Amino acid sequence: MRRALELAANGPATGPNPRVGCVILAASGEVLAEGWHRGAGTMHAEVDALSRLPGGGARGATAVVTLEPCNHTGRTGPCALALIEAGIARVVYAVSDPGHESSGGAGRLRAHGIDVLGGLLEAEVSDFLADWLAAARLGRPFVTLKWASSLDGRAAAADGTSRWITGPEARQDVHRRRSAADAIIVGTGTALADDPSLTARDAAGALLPGQPMPVVIGRRSIPSDAALRSHPRPPLFLPGHNLRAVLADLHGRGIRHAFIEGGPRLASAFVAAGLVDEYLVYLAPTLLGGGNLALGEIGVTGIDGQRRLTIEHYDRLGDDLLVVARPR
């Protein structure tokens, strides 16, 4: 299973499909074939592995796969059916598929007399697939909210300037995380005030291979010469303020991980609506004072209503501190 997980990591980190790996074993334990999913529209991991076997080579074999074989027809056919037709005798998977359309593969396999075992290395693989699993369960993208602030919680100085609060190591970490997201979201206020490019770049300023779709939420128009209009991917402008509807729209476009960059009003609205799954807080060892808070009103009026978080981990990035937290 760990080898299948290694294979899964070869797949694209973004897009509507999960990264899945598969290893096919002979009854003796010998590895017969390996496969992984290379992106939307390509063979799924199980079918990729089966394609590398000689005719009839799967009969009596065991398929070890990181995610329960799918049970639906999309751009490709059901993996459960492919395994049945190939003559696989046993299937071992790590994580059950929570998708409304794609789940049920294990039951289909069992109904055809195949021995099925689920839950092997479930925690490890669930962590690897965390974003995709959350999106599949919720029917919306996994939402990461990021902000950078001074130790006293300010996102900008009194005059509105914010470049740069954090150091180069923290900024590069942000770009790396942007590159692993499907979309990057800002409000029109941030788009107009900061004129961000919303790209993911390396330390030298060159574009990284993975670029998130730029998304702007709000009703104000964005100038034709705005930096984000030169983004490698065409920007998406969503005028509505119904955040659940916005996320549903993005999910329908194949967005499974959305990265919110701000500003404070948009960030606060997502928090108040209970739509944030992960917080990335970059803290710089500096004080700014003033009223430009990183987060504004989130609907908490008393201490009993505080939104408690669990700190997943924290890192030193140069002089700065990154805190990664999730709602309890």
Catalytic residues: 46
108 is in an annotated binding site: no
Give the three-state DSSP class for 56: coil
Query: Is 26 marked within a binding site?
Result: no
What is the CB neighbour count within 10 angstroms for residue 144?
A: 24
* Residue whose entry in the numeric block shows the structure tokens 């996320």: 247
Q: What is the DSSP string of 158-225?
A: TTS--TTSS-HHHHHHHHHHHHTSSEEEEEHHHHHHH------B-TTSPBPS--PEEEEESSS---TT
Q: Helix, strand, or coil here: 26?
A: coil
Report whether 36 belongs to an annotated binding site. Answer: no
Is 202 labelled as part of a ligand binding site?
A: no
| Nearest in space to 209 (alpha carbons), one of 236, 184, 237, 175 | 175
Going by the DSSP 8-state scheme, the letter that residue 217 receives in this structure is: E
* 154 labelled ligand-binding: no
Is 75 annotated in some ligand binding site? no
Whether residue 48 contacts residue 20, with contact meaning beta carbons closer than 8 Å, is answered with: no
Is 39 assigned a ligand-binding role in the annotation? no
Amino acid at 150: S
Residues 125 and 129: their CA atoms lie apart, in Å, by 6
- Whether 301 has a binding-site annotation, put simply, is no
Write down the residue that tokens 């799954």 correspond to.
277
Angstrom distance (rounded) from CA 308 to CA 237: 32
Is 201 among the annotated ligand-binding positions?
yes
Contact 19, 8 (CB under 8 A): yes
Does the annotation place 265 within a ligand binding site? yes
22 marked among binding-site residues: no
Question: Which alpha helices (DSSP H) does 212-276 contain, by range?
Answer: 243-252, 264-272
178 is annotated as contributing to ligand binding:
yes
**Residue 137 known to bind ligand:** no
Structure tokens at 22: 């598969």
Please check if 197 is assigned to a binding site.
no
Strand partners of residue 115: 90
* Residue 198 annotated as binding site: yes
Q: Which residues are annotated as a binding site for NADP(+)?
A: 148, 164, 190, 194, 263-269
Q: Which residues are annotated as a binding site?
A: 44, 70, 79, 148, 162, 164, 178, 190, 194, 198, 201, 261, 263-269
Q: Which residues are annotated as a binding site for substrate?
A: 162, 178, 198, 201, 261
Q: Which residues are annotated as a binding site for Zn(2+)?
A: 44, 70, 79
